[in-house]
Amino acid sequence: MNVHFVQHEVFEAPGAYLDWAKQRKHNVTFSKVYENQPLPDTVDHMDLLIVMGGPQSPNTTRDECPHFDAIGEKALIRKAVHAGKAVIGVCLGSQLIGEALGARYDHSPEKEIGVFSIQLTTDGLKDEKINHFGANLPVGHWHNDMPGLTSQSKILATTVGCPRQIVAYHNLVYGFQCHMELTPAVIELLIAEELDFLTNNTAYRYVQKPDEIRSYDLHEMNEMLFRFLDKLETEYLFYKR
């Protein structure tokens, strides 16, 4: 399987998504746009597109962030979806999927940073690719926006702070506002980027302190993500036959 990552910042690393791809011995390619690497011109040699997060929003312009091309990324996502590829968006990536399919992103009710449990909705408990998560699953969060909804999309998981945590846009297209890819190494990158804010925050009730974030065992969350990715791969290969 050919997996292509779009990575916006060094500290928004693919973590467990990349670990999964390496363990399954998939071919991995990158567009590290923060290093000015280009987006692919075609999706022909791609099976799974994973668009990572970042501090940008879908409205961020090239003047505001020269290495981030929201229009180009949305065009790439549309190409992948229309070609029947599997597509996953994480955080900013999930918002770009919604925008690519005609749904405007929105601000979530609360800023969330840390580890909090998501709750699967009725649609989530019916979705065979994520229902192994169970009714509640502690997962990572590092966001204050959320993806838009199309007429066909389904919300699969929610929290009080962000009611659109996982969205299914298609049987092969998923948006994860939450961060199930977090590993200890990725957490350290993110903490270093926002250390002062995390240490001194008193305004946001769903923002944890650095040591609390570091204290969580992330193995179950990562394993649940691996099982989702295995199921997604199986379904993609079935349709590709």
Q: What is the mean pLDDT of residues 187-210?
A: 97
Burial (CB < 10 A; 0-12, 13-18, 19+), residue 4, is buried
Give the chain's domain count. 1
Q: What is the mean pLDDT of residues 93-98?
A: 98
E strand or H helix at 201: none
Q: What is the mean pLDDT of residues 48-58?
A: 98
Q: How far apart are CA 218 and CA 22, in angstroms?
A: 18
3-state secondary structure 57-116: CCCCCCCCCCCCCHHHHHHHHHHHHHCCCEEEEECHHHHHHHHHCCCCCEEEEEEEEEEE
- What token pair was written down for 12? 């928004």
Q: Residues 61, 43, 142, 153: is their CA dihedral positive or negative? A: positive
The whole-number pLDDT of residue 239 equals 87
| Phi, psi of 216, deg, nearest 5 | -80, 145
Task: Kindly report each contact of residues 24-27 with a partner whose C-beta sits within 8 Å and lies 24 or more positions away, as own/partner.
Answer: 24/230, 24/233, 26/1, 26/2, 27/1, 27/2, 27/3
Assess whether pLDDT exceeds 80 at residue 99. Answer: yes
Q: What is the mean pLDDT of residues 116-141?
A: 98
pTM of the predicted model over 0.85: yes
Q: What is the mean pLDDT of residues 129-142?
A: 98
Assess whether pLDDT exceeds 90 at residue 241. Answer: no
pLDDT tens-place string over residues 149-158: 999 999 999 9
Half-sphere exposure of 146 (CA within 13 A, CB side): 21
Query: How confident is residue 179, by pLDDT bands cut at 50, 70 and 90?
Result: very high
28 strand-pairing partners:
3
The whole-number pLDDT of residue 106 equals 97
The whole-number pLDDT of residue 240 equals 84
The whole-number pLDDT of residue 29 equals 98
Share of the chain above pLDDT 70, in %: 100
State the Cα torsion 44-47-48-51 to the nearest 10°. Answer: -10
| Domain span at 26 | 2-240
Q: What is the mean pLDDT of residues 78-106?
A: 98
Instruction: Centre a 10 Å sphere on the Cβ of residue 19 and count the other Cβ atoms it contains.
Output: 15
Q: What is the CATH number of the domain that holds 147?
A: 3.40.50.880
Half-sphere exposure of 168 (CA within 13 A, CB side): 20
pLDDT tens-place string over residues 212-240: 999 999 999 999 999 999 999 999 999 88
- What token pair was written down for 180? 């199930």
Q: What is the mean pLDDT of residues 127-143?
A: 98
Q: What is the mean pLDDT of residues 174-178?
A: 98
Q: What is the mean pLDDT of residues 61-80?
A: 98
Share of the chain above pLDDT 90, in %: 99
